[in-house]
Structure 1
Amino acid sequence: MPRYVGSKWKKTAAIMRNSSLAVNVPSTSRMSRQSLKEYLARYQMVYIKPEHGSYGNGVMRVETTSSGYRYQLGTKARNFRAYDSMYQSILQHTKGKRYLVQKGIHLLKHNGRKFDLRVMVQLSPNNVWETTGIIGRAAAKGKIVTNYHSGGTIVNADQLLSTHTNQVQSRLRQLSSMGVRAGAAMQRAFPGVTKIGLDIAMDKTLHPWILEVNTSPDPYIFRKHSDPKVFKKIMRYIKADRSR
């Protein structure tokens, strides 16, 4: 049975151990009253998310404003003059669960909607890590997360990137290589992991940032890929994985 790793903190630490990948991971810490305050002072905009969770549930965008602070959960934003008032309000949502705070990356947009990329990486039947698919996810209007299960729209990666660069294939090859290295890093840290999904954000300089690593990524979003061979290959590898 392929191994599932739930802790976002442990997965981030595993990726950070690879020096070639560490430059692609936004600064991340466990959230506390102090760490969130320090991150806001340093980056002005951050994301906080449950250490254990999926589909973007519980993710909040927190930022400094000209008159204080603001955080957004779902489509609702709240403003505060004082940091402590905001933090107490956030705690009502976190409900005692462990949260992480991460440097905020300003996502590229397509037709006014923020987007990120999902990179599917699998251990092939020949036991070689391989990036088997890359697809884009555009956030629903007013949402801060791009997840399909939170109303996001699946869009071809080359379509999303083509409005920002004329080197689309080169960028996709870069992400593919990054995926292979991330797969190997995860397998070293967690023997038994045989597939991962990387959530990649690109900033305005087209620097790729690994926002999260999933060890049970949803393959079915690749049904919407323009090349049907991509989904077929992903499912063939999953089937082979089950029979290891």
Structure 2
Amino acid sequence: MPRKGGSSISIKSKWTKTKWLLADRTLRRFVPETKRFTRSSLHAMIGRYKTVYFKPTTGTGGSGIARIVRLSARKYQVKKDTRTTTISSASSLYRQLTRIARGRSYLLQKGIYLKAARGRPFDLRMMVQKDGSKWVPTVMFVKLGKKNKIVTNYHQGGKLAKVEPTLRRSGYSSAQVTRYKQKLKMLGMQTARCFDRHSTRFKELGLDVALDRKGRLWILEVNTRPGFSALKSLADKRFYRTVVRYGRKYGRTK
């Protein structure tokens, strides 16, 4: 259930937040198929998709995530951190994932093939924050993944960058970049309205949005207490200052 973080509440369960998005008519088409981890849901997901992500229901910073790739009808590869294991049956795969989970609740999510800029896969972060009772799209930036990492998080060796130059480097025109930025703001504001229907005590949301190789946007996750100290790593300090300026209004300064 919601827990307090400053005067803004936070929801730890990724499953709860995913269900909220799926119940929203506008947002559900932006959510990759996600299921709770069970033996039957694993069989369904690995049968349907070549790549599936295995994510803890609670957790931050990209820790505990594994990637499953179907190599052939009965052969799978599991990568967690820098360790890769090849497994030769679905039942062995289930046992391996159960060992990784160690009794904790996990989710399975359809894998999205991320767009890359100069060989580095990336996803996008869209932040919306409250100014009084009104939501405002405050900052958006890119998380560039480190080579050979399965997540793009800053704390997993990722690097932050600006949206415009990254999208231009990955082959988009100025007009296309402008459209993507408008779409990201729309997703941020629609998600804020969706979360407001469950509680008006949310004051900040950080959407992790994937851009796939076909140019489609996907909401991978919504953070109800998004970290922003990594914004200090950007040469342009306006991003960090903007987030802090809005955060102060509801009692969050770091």
TM-score normalised over the length of structure 2: 0.91
Q: CA deviation at 1:129?
A: 1.1
Residue 76 (structure 1) aligns with: 83
For 2:34 and 2:52, locate their aligned partners in 1 and report how far apart those are by CA, in whole Å.
10
For 2:235 and 2:139, locate their aligned partners in 1 and report how far apart those are by CA, in whole Å.
11
For 2:126 and 2:233, locate their aligned partners in 1 and report how far apart those are by CA, in whole Å.
14
Q: Pairwise mapping of residues 89-128 of structure 1 onto structure 2 (< 5 A)?
A: 89-125=96-132, 127-128=133-134
Q: CA deviation at 1:45?
A: 0.9
Deviates more, 1:227-236 or 1:82-91: 227-236
1:17 to 23, 37, 40: 23
1:3 to 6, 9, 17: 9
1:58 to 56, 64, 81: 64
Query: Residue type of the partner of 2:204?
Result: K
Residue 197 (structure 2) aligns with: 188
- Say whether residues 1:215 and 2:233 are aligned partners: no
Query: Residue type of the partner of 2:111?
Result: G
Q: CA deviation at 1:91?
A: 1.2
Q: CA RMSD in A?
A: 1.5
- Say whether residues 1:177 and 2:183 are aligned partners: no
For 1:69 and 1:233, locate their aligned partners in 2 and report how far apart those are by CA, in whole Å.
44
Q: CA deviation at 1:72?
A: 0.6
Residue 48 (structure 2) aligns with: 42
For 1:175 and 1:185, locate their aligned partners in 2 and report how far apart those are by CA, in whole Å.
15
Q: CA deviation at 1:16?
A: 1.7
Residue 31 (structure 1) aligns with: 37
2:155 to 144, 149, 153: 149
Paired residues in the alignment total: 242
Q: Secondary structure at the match of 2:197?
A: helix
Q: Secondary structure at the match of 1:170?
A: helix
Q: CA deviation at 1:225?
A: 4.5
Identity of matched residues, %: 33
TM-score normalised over the length of structure 1: 0.95
Deviates more, 1:109-118 or 1:209-218: 109-118
Unaligned runs of 5+ residues in structure 2 are 1-6
For 2:171 and 2:24, locate their aligned partners in 1 and report how far apart those are by CA, in whole Å.
28
For 1:225 and 1:22, locate their aligned partners in 2 and report how far apart those are by CA, in whole Å.
32
